Amino acid sequence: MKTFLGGVLTPAFLLTWVILLLVFHAAQVVARRGSGPQAHRRSVDVMNFCLMHALWILGTRCSVRFSELLPTGRPIIFVANHQNKLDIPGISWYLRRHSPKFVSKIELGKGILSVSYNLRHSGAALIDRDDPRQSLTEIGRLGKLIESTASSAVIFPEGTRSITGELNPFSAAGVKILIKKAPRALVVPVYIHNTWGLNRYGRFPMSVGERISWTVLPAIEPNGKSPDEVAALAEQSIRREFAAQSAGA
């Protein structure tokens, strides 16, 4: 029954997403060229709100939980697991107060309505995974940017999406570079739960009636700790939450 409903509702969901990406691509261009970066950011916030709420078409229920109130006026490095392309609009919407900028593969910087434009003009780090030097330099630039603007960076240290929900090995290199280049930053782990389930049957049909969530875990104060220690603590926090939510499923 779920696959039948998915087959009926997936085209409507995908069509809605295409329309939203088309409309907000134009909105971003107009906002940025007409009123500047702040207007561009507001248009992106509205876009992410719409993209997330389009999940209602699939009967998806979304939630977010904050373990504590995070400060503004201080840079933050969000370290998250990665399961689905929808992880990004979710983080962008729920953490919009912190102006998140993503570490993303360079291929996403062109050819995708709205997404590519935002990545190119938001300060995101577009990394070439075949070029470690370029990747670390670009991540370092992002670290300096969030340090100077008291904004935030989002990095997925698994490096690629998990299509089963299991946690892949973490690579700490990018996290450590961000910490070194943004020494005032708090490091905040984020556990993303069950977004992989939207594609449990593959690309088509999408699953209906899924419950997905973002859990913002307690912040890690890096003062007095080495970048290696902080990166390890972030991974441990995410893995503990994964184990807890898996046990309660």
Q: What is the CATH number of the domain that holds 220?
A: 3.40.1130
φ, ψ of residue 191 in degrees (nearest 5) = -105, 125
pLDDT of residue 29: 98
pLDDT of residue 248: 73
Tell me the C-alpha distance between 80 and 137, whole Å. Answer: 21
pLDDT of residue 168: 95
Torsion angle of alpha carbons 174, 157, 189, 72, nearest 10°?
Answer: 40
> Packing angle between helix 2-35 and helix 115-122, nearest 10 degrees?
40
Tell me the C-alpha distance between 236 and 124, whole Å. Answer: 26
pLDDT digits (tens, 9 = 90+) for 59-101: 999 999 999 999 999 999 999 999 999 999 999 999 999 999 9
Tell me the C-alpha distance between 75 and 71, whole Å. Answer: 9
pLDDT of residue 91: 98
pLDDT of residue 249: 62
3-state secondary structure of 49: helix
pLDDT of residue 1: 73
For 72, residues 6+ apart whose C-beta sits below 8 A from its C-beta are 97, 98, 150
Contact status, residue 215 vs residue 241, Cβ threshold 8 Å: yes
Residues (pLDDT < 50) of the chain are: none
Q: Which residue range(s) make up the domain with 224?
A: 2-248
Report the number of distinct structural domains present in the chain: 1
